[in-house]
Structure 1
Amino acid sequence: MIPARFDYHAPESAEAAVQLLGDLSSSGADVKVLGGGQSLLPVMRMRLAAPEVVVDLSRAADLSGVRDDGDALVIGAMTTHADVVRDPLVREHALLVALATETVADPQVRHRGTFGGALVHADPAGDLPAPALALDAEMVIAGPGGRRTVPARDFFIDVFTTAVGEDELLVEVRVPKYTGWGAHYEKFSRVAQAWAIVGVAAAVRVEGGTIAEARIGLTNMGSTPVRATAAEQALIGRPVTAEAVKEASAAAADGAQPPEDANGDAEYRRHLAGVLTARAVLAAAGA
């Protein structure tokens, strides 16, 4: 199908994009921001979305790239998935982000889709919100009043809904460094490259064969990513053995409200969360 008619703008900087969004918002226009386009363009072609204006960020060079900022990495919102996966800073200091991004769709999508675009899209089955939550990432949002920083726990509000306002733009993501931590993203889907029925993002720090710290985020276990805090606490001090990790991981779904659909009911997803958490933690710990 062919999208409905729309006006098109391609600002060449984050500042110009924010100014444009402010002007368009004031006019009352229905505006959509185009990042990599891997989510927006298909729904526009099916006319499930018919914005009056599309603001394309692909020419805003200052929105791309990864840089070291002391105790954190800063990932530009328009950095492609492929660039995130192969960036040496990400692999050294935020391995979980790289491993989760490797599972996004297929190579074609990863070469066009963007890190920030996937986070703003906020699909509960998307692979990047859970690691962002697990690692306590911070989202830097720019708007007419300047920039503000929102922690991941407050960024994801509901299905396809984030803290980014209509006249605002996600410009970068700050990810604390987890240098030396083990990491793994375990994703269960019925066919290759499909959305996760359940996914688990796990980062662990091991000392002397014992889990000293653990951070776990769950994919598709609610309307937003879920932090498995009960399992995190249960894992601390446990030896890196299958039995001990499995016992602690049984608490992964505590407090979650998983959806029910053709892929499985809530109880099935709770079971998967425990099983996948154990696998992810053991893999992250090198067991």
Structure 2
Amino acid sequence: MTDLTLLSFFFFAFQLIAGEAFFNFVLMFHLTPQDPPSDIFSNCLVFTYTKELHDYRNSGFVWEPGGFGCFLIITLTLNLFINKFTFDRSSIILTIGTITTVSTTAYLALLILLLMVYRYKHRKINLGVVLMIPVLVLIMVKTPLIGEKIVSLYNSDMENLENIDHLSSYYDNIDMQMRLNRFASITYIYDLFKYKLILGVSNMYDELMNRVYNVNISNGIMDFMAKYGLVGFLYLMSCYAKFCKRNVKYNECTVYCILVMIVLGFGSPILTTPIVLMFLFLPYYKLPEPIYLLVKRPVLLNSEFSSAN
């Protein structure tokens, strides 16, 4: 991820400088099939550029900047575990990469992550920090990138749902899926599945989702719950929490880890990707020591494997 982020800086610089010309260059090496073809999206496997929508945002190798920011935050979290919450070269690169995504979701998660780093290193309650929390919340609410964007997104989502029949006809005519943003995705999935969200519908998901409208869901939590239910979501979060607790030691920091994953899942459909689903298994892999000690002393791990074999 660090290498891919460095590579994205190189392409992102050309994206900012060249714009349309860079889009055409990336399109020459387009490796992912599109049906129907898009005149604004181009991907060369290691970098994605969506013209007009994300002219000044870094998508990296992912489908959009928000998704790239989610992968960066998860990787940054794991890297902080390895380095006992010390920012090394990789952490700095991943943080800068997160900033270049200009993603509200990634920014909120990064703020929570930075708070966790502070609390991990400073266990005593600092009155100044406590007083700063409401100030930071107020700044976030008043910042156009976060507060105004969330309000605008909510209002737009509700308006789109009210006109969903008209929008659906439009997207059907141009042979495209109708994209539902975060809040619209919550309402749409809840109205469609209702009590089925408790256990999920598994393999019936695609058939039921597109029975009435051909939509594209952007809220990862509701997407996951529709497939695997609230039960599946809680189990995933419990496994993730177990893994995190082994590396952060403090319950408070574990809560921050969970909040980070919830924020990421709310903003992007990443919960069904391998980088998240691996947490179903990691807590049950009996590591002899926390992850940061294994990385610092790989000989210990090799010797234990040798003795086990």
Whose helix proportion is higher, 1 or 2?
2
Question: What's the TM-score once normalised by structure 1's chain length?
Answer: 0.28
Kindly name which structure, 1 or 2, has the bigger radius of gyration based on alpha carbons.
Answer: 2
Larger fraction in strand: 1
